[in-house]
Amino acid sequence: MAAFSKTNAQSDALFLTWLKLNRCVLRRYIQLKIYPAMASKDADPSLGYLTREDTKVKLPRPTRVKNKTPAPIQITAEQILREAWERQEAEIWPPKQKITDSTELADYRLCKRKEFEDLIRRVCWNISVWIKYVQWEESQKDFERARSVWERALEVDYRNHTLWLKYAEAEMKNKFINRARNVWDGAVTLLPRVDQLRYKYIHMEEMLGNVAGARQIFERWMNWMPDQQGWLSYIKFELGYNEVDRARQIFERFVQCHPKVTAWIRYAKFEMKNGEGDRSRNVYERAVEKLADDEEAELLFVAFAEFEERCKETERARCIYKFALDHIPKGRAEDLYRKFVAFEKQYGDKEGIEDACGKEEEIRKGLGRFMSVPLLMCHQLRRRDYWQRYIYLWINYTLYEELDAEDLEQTRDVYRYEEYIDYLFPEESQTTNLKILEAAYRWKKQKITL
């Protein structure tokens, strides 16, 4: 009985000690146990029989500043930051772990691998996590595990060419050449349109001196018909080893794959650079047969004529210019006419120069007539919605006649025709008043009285 009373006394003492530490709880305890009649109706049992007022956060009372005059010693923000920097405590770094035996090393590796695996399980889409994992495995000289991690990463996203690049570079760095070749082969097979992979693969073979292997990679690439840069890289590769005949064969395949004017011009310039004038002329002639009606035919004819001019074949160059002027639409032959006029002024006689200037004037007039066709059609139909569609063509037509053709009379005629449209549609005269004022300003500038 005495022991029981002693135990109760100890528990009461502990309970009273706990109540002293919690004054608010003690007050509510007295209200509920000792003075039940004093218990408030607002007490909430879920809050330990406290009221809402008791649980509110009571902020300290704001201190009112009585003296607002500046202090005698001013402290700047820079001084505060410097003092904070000087007084800050040293950063706590984790202790360095020293591994003394193989058991500790195995425990360390197990712990580290578990961290990487947990991280991969959460963000398997993050490529940087895989790369860090592989780099750590390589630092432990466990290349088989590193390859396993690479393969798992490629299973997640094999379309990411960065993974393939890192994988192959890791094998090359550790001097596993055949394994690197296997990686490159898999990369170019699964991603045949990523040119960077093929360039890296070819560079590796060149660094190893395996020219035949690099050529084989290029041949496999050309079967996919890449863009012009791929073909030009192959040609540059062959020329780097003085394989002119191979480069010529590649050029033949190049112009068949990309039958464009620029490709044929590159081929002809290649032959001319190697001193093969007849071959270069033959290339130009074949290009003219196939691309005489192409939109970029003007560039081809100009390049062909300049080639003949460098070869001192002025008659051939003149015939090429005239043939081009007869076959190319006049609206696309401005540069060609300008080249022809310069050519005749340098090599031609008086009649040839006059003929070239006449052709240049003819094309300018032809271009003006070409621009005026839709405008005349609008005039014949006399419909307001039609001529409104071509309002910017009117402006371009007048600018062409004034600045390019330098035909002031025709320019005035165009402006007068716009005034006639205002007469036909007076309710729309506001849209062209600015153009009439513009015309008046131009005529005033030229000091011409109307």
pLDDT mean over 36-46? 59
Distance CA 445, CA 200 (A): 64
- Contact (Cβ atoms closer than 8 angstroms) between residue 424 and residue 382: yes
Helix, strand, or coil (residue 44): strand
Residue type, 378: C
The model's pTM is 0.61
**CA gyration radius for the chain?**
45
* pLDDT level of residue 38 (50, 70, 90 thresholds): very low
Distance CA 311, CA 285 (A): 15
Helix, strand, or coil (residue 92): coil
The residue with greater pLDDT, 284 or 339, is 284
Q: Work out the burial of residue 307: count CB atoms within 10 Å of its CB; fewer than 13 is exposed, 13-18 middle, 19 or more buried.
A: buried
Residue type, 3: A
Distance CA 387, CA 381 (A): 9
Distance CA 414, CA 372 (A): 9
**Token couple for 47:** 């809050």
Torsion over CA: 127, 132, 134, 135 (sign)? positive
The residue with greater pLDDT, 62 or 298, is 298
Q: Work out the burial of residue 268: count CB atoms within 10 Å of its CB; fewer than 13 is exposed, 13-18 middle, 19 or more buried.
A: buried
Distance CA 130, CA 120 (A): 7
- Phi/psi at 44 (nearest 5 deg)? -110, 120
pLDDT mean over 343-369? 60
Helix, strand, or coil (residue 50): strand
Cβ-proximal residues to 22 (8 Å cutoff; 6+ apart), any chain: none
The whole-angstrom distance between residue 114's C-alpha and the CA centroid of its chain comes to 39
* pLDDT level of residue 287 (50, 70, 90 thresholds): very high
**Token couple for 199:** 């360039």
Instruction: Annotate 400-428 with three-state secondary structure.
Output: HHHHHCCCHHHHHHHHHHHHHHHHHCHHH
Q: Which of 118-127, 155-164, 296-305, 438-447 has the lowest mean pLDDT?
A: 438-447
* pLDDT level of residue 363 (50, 70, 90 thresholds): low
| Domain regions of the chain by residue span | 13-39
Q: Is the pLDDT of residue 304 over 60?
A: yes
pLDDT given for residue 198 in this prediction: 95
Instruction: Annotate 300-334 with three-state secondary structure.
Output: HHHHHHHHHHHCCCHHHHHHHHHHHHHHCCHHHCH
pLDDT one-digit tens code per residue, 227-281 = 999 999 999 999 999 999 999 999 999 999 999 999 999 999 999 999 898 999 9
Q: Is the pLDDT of residue 323 over 70?
A: yes
Average pLDDT, the chain: 78
What is the total residue count of the chain? Answer: 450
pLDDT given for residue 406 in this prediction: 63
* pLDDT level of residue 335 (50, 70, 90 thresholds): confident
